[in-house]
């Protein structure tokens, strides 16, 4: 008489269920370790912070004194690696640029740096689609301080809410304008300090930092504008 297969079938089903639960648990664990928590900064600046956090965490285990792991120290290294700082010989090696971005414009400038490497796209105004010059500045100002700028570079330069300033008065967070298309205010970027600015340059390139003192930019500089960032940051959000 043939043996009943019912117990075997029940055992097989139970084994499948256990395996499925184990696979699900493993997937949840992997997602928890690979998905950054909400609010985590991505991009070049975010990666710099994450890499430094890992180094700081491993330092005590290696028998070395732990290095400061706060955001400001990571910012110092991030700027220094890209030639954005100028050491002034003070104790601790602090830089004028780092000190200057720790003010009202701090969030704006560092937010802009987080988009280094995002491709240039004509008419683009988002990370997904890429940025053109004015799309980049508009996105950064709105995202960082809630100030909605006009869409085009020449419109931003003529915006009555922005103050016209001289080149020797530049501070981090100011908008800097250039004549790159044989017309005034045809290109715009954000000043980051020490003669450097961040911008979305042209087709085939990506958001990057350049030196305004280079001959190409120096002879094309046409003006700068400053927003009241404190007022913008304190203003209620209207959508």
Pick the catalytic residue: 21, 24, 139, 199?
Answer: 199
Straight-line distance from the first to the last Cα atom of the chain, in angstroms, rounded to the nearest whole number: 78
Tell which residue, 73, 32, 74, has the closest CA to residue 50: 74
Pick the catalytic residue: 21, 24, 133, 139?
Answer: 133
Tell which residue, 169, 163, 168, has the closest CA to residue 147: 163
Q: Counting beta carbons within 10 angstroms of the beta carbon of residue 85, is it exposed (0 to 12), middle (13 to 18) or buried (19 or more)? A: buried
Q: Counting beta carbons within 10 angstroms of the beta carbon of residue 65, is it exposed (0 to 12), middle (13 to 18) or buried (19 or more)? A: exposed
Asked if 24 is an active-site residue, the reply is: no
Pick the catalytic residue: 21, 24, 139, 187?
Answer: 187
The SS3 call for residue 104 is: coil
Asked if 139 is an active-site residue, the reply is: no
Decide: 180 and 210 in contact? Cβ < 8 Å: no
Catalytic (active-site) positions: 133, 187, 199
């Amino acid at each position: 008489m043939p043996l009943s297969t019912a117990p075997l079938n029940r055992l097989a089903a139970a084994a499948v269920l256990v395996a499925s639960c184990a696979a699900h648990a493993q997937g949840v664990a992997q997602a928890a370790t690979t998905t950054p928590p909400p609010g985590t900064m991505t991009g070049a600046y975010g990666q710099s912070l994450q890499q430094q956090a890992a180094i700081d965490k491993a330092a005590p285990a290696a028998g070395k004194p732990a290095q400061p792991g706060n955001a400001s120290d990571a910012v110092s290294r991030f700027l220094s690696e890209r030639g954005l700082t100028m050491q002034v010989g003070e104790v601790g090696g602090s830089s004028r640029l780092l000190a200057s971005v720790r003010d009202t414009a701090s969030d704006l400038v560092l937010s802009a740096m987080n988009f280094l490497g995002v491709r240039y796209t004509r008419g683009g105004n988002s990370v997904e689609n890429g940025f053109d010059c004015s799309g980049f500045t508009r996105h950064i100002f709105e995202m960082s301080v809630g100030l909605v700028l006009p869409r085009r570079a020449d419109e931003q330069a003529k915006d009555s809410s922005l103050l016209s300033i001289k080149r020797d008065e530049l501070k981090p967070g100011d908008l800097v304008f250039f004549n790159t298309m044989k017309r005034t205010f045809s290109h715009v970027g954000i000043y980051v300090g020490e003669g450097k600015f961040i911008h979305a340059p042209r087709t085939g390139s990506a958001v990057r930092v350049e030196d305004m003192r280079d001959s190409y930019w120096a002879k094309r500089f046409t003006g700068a504008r400053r927003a009241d960032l404190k007022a913008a940051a304190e203003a209620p959000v209207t959508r």
